[in-house]
Structure 1
């Protein structure tokens, strides 16, 4: 008994019929010249071990290919290289250990789902898929991501790499300027990239459950001006960066499971606004080492440039904050809640401010 390998079977491919064709500038499009309609092909859940395209098949007409929930161990290079109009590739829940290098030919690819496989790395050629908007690679064996991913995939909006073995994120992550959702939980991350300030569109950041590996967050996290949700729970973080007091749009913060000293637990239990207030007040503390002061000064200059602070704030020797509208308020006499938005210049004043 011979075993026949399953072949790639098109579901519903067709040419435009006479009803589909439209008159263009008064002339009919001839049937033999009519373009074929782009098709979605669904081969999910069929216990396939491999996919072999028929030689006569026109793979150019496929815009979406779903091979999920099968037993596929390898995708032929020739199959991917011929799907030049492919926009969505879904191969989640298979047995893949590698993706074909020809994936770099998919210049129109927008969504890539490779979750639930055995991938140890993504091919470097994925950097050529410059239309990519979403990558889901959770539940794999990834130990690294391509180093220059941030320079090339500037259209990427969603990156999900949870439940892998990542020790670090690429240093170019900060160049993913369109990124809105980053999920890197359940890895072995030891640190986040320092220069996150360009991720101005990022709304959701989840780096939870990296356990004892992740012990600190970068100061630049305070420049994520669009951040709405931040989950850093179940790590080894002892102190949150003071800069997080500037996250004005932050609405959800999870920090449980960390050995936090700053802010203390009694502040954390009072809620998000109290945490931000505590960090803001701490930022204004003059009792810091010269090294910390230099670091804060460099970071504050970036905040001012980003517009986090009102350019008309009064600080330094004046000891005032807010706009100069003739009704100045004294920093020292203001209530604690009034200093949630603080003056960066006050940090580096040569003298303490006394009440007026």
Structure 2
């Protein structure tokens, strides 16, 4: 039985521009429900919101002559969709938010890369094994939610392209590792990779200067260590590494000045010992800091670059310049903007700034 869908436009707010015919008839496809379905669109000054959620749809009932470029927010979640047509995604040129969570999708269309204005993408609760490489063309993307899928990998260069990404949620997948380019997501504030199969994290995380929340919990028997660079996440407020196989935290944890919540339960923790862990985050920081300082005293000629960071006050906001060490500029000049560029930020990472002079060529 064929049903008729109606788009309703809400003109309840003042100073709205007239938007054609408020009732637009769209041909529908067959669905499990024989009752009349309604497609609701709320018109605002600058966007068209189309809601097709929870309608038991198996295909999208959108006419070929319907102007999809007017849609900026589309919710097609909680349906039975197995595919999003390439031709459909290619016409959603002004899309800002797309929600397709809780469907039966195994792939996303490659034409998703045409959505150059997309800021929020929710594809959680599907059967995705990978994300299309073309998603890297969605450079305006700020929030990517791919939880509860079957992802085994992320695009290799995702960190070089999605430079505006602020939140990346890929929990409850089958990820074994994160691409090394993840360390270039300089605007990232929230990274959730719990409930995966992670063996390790990328070594160079220090460029994630805005990261506030990092959750790598519940990778169970797979995750055994954390990289030293975790201690260089200068904006980190919450770190959850619970229920892994981590025996020792990196000593650099003592340098996390802003950390307020540190969850380590469910690990075979030896360093710090259980009696320190029980006292809370401040006790853990002090223990790791003292351990790091002790290591520097034992090996004074081989002080780690972490030790130098502490000595020169890098973690308390002071940017003093060590004499005759590190990276010396030939003359004073501003590097604002240049240093914050994702392309060059690794040049100014603490790891490089405090390396011996021989590591640099003139």
> TM-score scaled by structure 2?
0.75
Tell me the equivalent position of 1:86.
95
SS in 1 for 2:294: coil
The answer for the alignment partner of 1:307 in structure 2 is 314
1:190 aligns with one of 191, 199, 205: 199
SS where residue 9 of structure 2 aligns?
coil
Deviations 1:248-272 (A, max 9, x none): 1100010000001100001101111
Please, which of 251, 259, 278 is the counterpart of residue 268 of structure 2? 259
Which residue of 114, 125, 147 maps to 2:134?
A: 125
Q: How far apart are the structure 2 equivalents of 1:118 and 1:271?
A: 39
1:281 to 290, 299, 318: 290
Per-residue CA distance 1:221-268 (angstroms, 9 max, x = gap): 111111111000000000000000011110001000000110000110
Match of 1:203 in 2: 212
Q: How many angstroms does 1:289 deviate by?
A: 8.4
Write the distance in 2 (CA, Å) between the matches of 1:266 and 1:239: 14
Structure 1: 5+ residue runs without aligned partners?
A: 23-35, 315-356
Partner of 1:63: 72
Question: Is contact 2:81-2:103 (8 Å) kept?
Answer: yes
Matched, 1:166 2:188: no
CA contact (8 A) 2:312 2:320 kept: no
Partner Cα separation in structure 1 for residue 54 and residue 308 of structure 2 = 54
Query: CA RMSD of the aligned region, Å?
Result: 3.0
8 Å contact from structure 1 (residues 304, 311) kept in 2: no
Looking at structure 2, the residues matched to 293 and 215 of structure 1 have their Cα atoms a distance apart, in angstroms, of 29
2:294 equivalent to 1:297: no
2:241 counterpart residue number: 232
Partner of 2:84: 75
Match in the other structure for 1:333: none
State the distance in 2 between where 1:187 and 1:229 align.
19
Q: Deviation at 1:66? A: 0.2
- Cα–Cα, structure 1 residues 9 and 244, in superposed 2: closer, same or farther, change >3 Å? farther
Change (3 A) 1:73 1:256: same
Distance in 2 between the 1:37 and 1:278 partners? 54
Instruction: Say yes or no: does 1:44 pair with 2:41.
Output: no
Counterparts of 1:113 and 1:9, CA distance in 2: 25
**What's the offset of the Cα at 1:214?**
0.3
8 A contact 1:192–1:217 mirrored in 2: yes
Distance, in Å, in 2 between the alignment partners of 1:303 and 1:155 is: 30
Match of 2:253 among 217, 234, 244: 244
Distance change (3 Å), C-alpha of 1:10 and 1:273: same
Shift in Å, 1:56:
1.6
Specify the structure having the higher radius of gyration (Cα).
Answer: 1
Tell me: CA distance 1:61–1:311, structure 2 relative to 1, closer, same or farther (3 Å): closer
Q: Which residue of 2 aligns with 1:99?
A: 108
- Measure, in 1, the Cα distance between the counterparts of 2:63 and 2:57: 16
TM-fit CA distance, 1:306: 8.6
Asked if 2 retains the 8 angstrom alpha-carbon contact of 1:238 and 1:258, the reply is yes
Q: Is the 8 A contact 1:38 1:63 kept in 2?
A: yes
Instruction: Give the equivalent residue in structure 2 for 1:270.
Output: 279
Residues 83 and 224 of structure 1: CA distance in aligned 2, closer, same or farther (over 3 Å): same
Distance 1:9 1:153 in 2: 36
| 1:307 Cα offset (Å) | 2.3
2:167 pairs with 1:139: no
8 Å Cα contact 2:198/2:222 also seen in 1: yes
Distance 2:150 2:238 in 1: 26
